[in-house]
Amino acid sequence: MKLPIRYYQQLFKTSSLTIIFFLTTFINAQQNQQLTRYSPDKERSAAVQTIIVDADYTFDEALEGSSIPSSVKDKLDLVGVKYYGFDGKLHHGQIIVNKEIANDVVEIFKVIEEIKFPVEKVVPIVDYNWSDEKSMNDNNTSSFNYRFISGSRILSMHANGLAIDINPKQNPYVKNGTSIPAGSEYRFKDKGTIEPDSKIVKAFKERGWTWGGDWKSLKDYQHFQKKIK
């Protein structure tokens, strides 16, 4: 029996629609797979690293409770810094320093961040009720603290924000066989230890700072200071 032409026309139309449907489905699937493989949003999310905030004070909050002369306070600045912690993650901290050395501190901490030298924390000492001992025992990196040199009535370089102590537990103050903080020990290659030929020491010295690790009568491995006119 001979089928009418309309039958073949309808069959062709149906087949064409089926082919178009499958082709469209296949193309869409390929496009979706490509979008899944590369997503700008995912790329951006991967590039943005979470920063752990260790300190977020205002200037006045960071100096609260410190009986400092206004002549000293006027010379200070609160500087935000970034560094990798002992947990391997990026942290944000704050340090109070003399305005004269603020740019140095920013540049040096950029070096510290770039080389991923681990720093336990950087928090203004107000967090420790202005106790240098408590700050050191918590392995806190700090600068300004209106205090005297240990065992004397001479104002420390810290009293003018012109000295920085980094990772006190790994880089102790050592004199006559006694280490401060108590129980600390200076050992090369330990995480967070400042070594004589390190990029950190070089970064400080290039900017006119001196390192306590070079001193003869005692060693203060955590300590960097800069004299200004």
pLDDT at 28: 57
Mean pLDDT across 109-127: 98
Amino acid letter for position 229: K
Residue 14 and residue 57 in one domain: no
| Residue 38 domain boundaries | 5-47
Residue 112 and residue 221 in one domain: yes
Domain count within the chain: 2
Mean pLDDT across 121-150: 95
Q: In this predicted structure, which of 45-49, 144-148, 221-225 has the lowest mean pLDDT?
A: 45-49
Residue 95 and residue 22 in one domain: no
Residue 116 and residue 208 in one domain: yes
Between 122 and 13, residue with greater pLDDT: 122
pLDDT at 98: 98
Residue 154 and residue 202 in one domain: yes
What's the pLDDT tens digit per position in 54-88? 999 999 999 999 989 999 999 999 999 999 999 99
Residue 77 and residue 156 in one domain: yes
Question: Rounded to whole angstroms, how far apart are CA atoms 96 and 168?
Answer: 17
pLDDT at 14: 52
Residue 30 and residue 63 in one domain: no
pLDDT at 152: 78
Residue 59 and residue 143 in one domain: yes
For a pLDDT cut of 70, what percent of the chain falls above it?
A: 79
pLDDT at 149: 80
Amino acid letter for position 78: L
Q: Is 109 exposed, middle or buried (0-12, 13-18, 19+ CB in 10 A)?
A: buried
What's the pLDDT tens digit per position in 171-202? 999 999 999 999 999 998 899 999 999 999 99
pTM for the complete prediction? Answer: 0.79
Residue 19 and residue 68 in one domain: no
Residue 156 and residue 211 in one domain: yes
pLDDT, averaged across the chain: 86
What's the pLDDT tens digit per position in 15-58? 554 554 555 555 555 555 544 443 445 444 445 679 999 999 99
Band (pLDDT 50/70/90 cuts) for residue 12 is very low
75 contact partners, CB below 8 Å, separation of at least 6:
98, 99, 100, 160, 161
Whether residue 5 is predicted with pLDDT greater than 70 in this model: the reply is no
Residue 26 and residue 101 in one domain: no
Residue 105 and residue 18 in one domain: no
Which long-range contacts link 216-220 to residues 24+ away (Cβ below 8 Å)? Answer: 217/175, 218/173, 218/174, 218/175, 218/176, 219/173, 219/174, 219/175, 219/186, 220/173, 220/174
